Amino acid sequence: MSNQTITCTHLDQIGDFPSNFTVCPQCVEMGDGWVNLRQCLICGQVGCCDSSKNTHATKHFHATGHALLRSLQPGDSWIWCYVDEVGIQGHPAGANAQ
């Protein structure tokens, strides 16, 4: 998996954000639940995944154009680019085991 050709042109925009989030703040505000958490790697905003009712991570991309996110699920180490539609396994920015 690590030898794949990476076609994402947004990797230099990745910021350094804490990953110790346990809730989707927008879902909490609405009183809804979520399935998995995702985090925008451009601004650090936390949202919920596409399996969640409110898909806040994808909505964040549509609202801001921020292309990159990572999974906040323990053990996951991948990032996803909405624009290039490429997932990168084992990316350092996806590692959130701290």
- x/- site string to Zn ion, residues 23 to 42, per CB under 5 A? -x-xx------x-----x-x
Question: In this structure, are strands 46-48 and 37-40 parallel, antiparallel, or unpaired?
Answer: antiparallel
Query: What count of other Cβ atoms lies within 10 Å of the Cβ of residue 75?
Result: 8
Q: Kindly state whether residue 6 participates in binding Zn ion, applying the rule CB under 5 A.
A: no
SS (H, E, C) 24-70: CHHHHHHCCCCCCEEEECCCCCEEECCCCCCCHHHHHHHHHCCCEEE
Q: Which amino acid does the sequence have at 48?
A: C
- x/- site string to Zn ion, residues 53 to 92, per CB under 5 A? -x-x---------xx-------------x-xx--------
Range in contact with Zn ion (rule: CB under 5 A) among 9-17, 72-80, 89-97? 9-17
Distance of CA 59 to the CA centre of its chain: 12
Please state the closest distance from residue 74 (CB atom) to Zn ion, in A: 18
Binding site for Zn ion (CB under 5 A): 8, 10, 24, 26-27, 34, 40, 42-43, 45, 48, 54, 56, 66-67, 81, 83-84
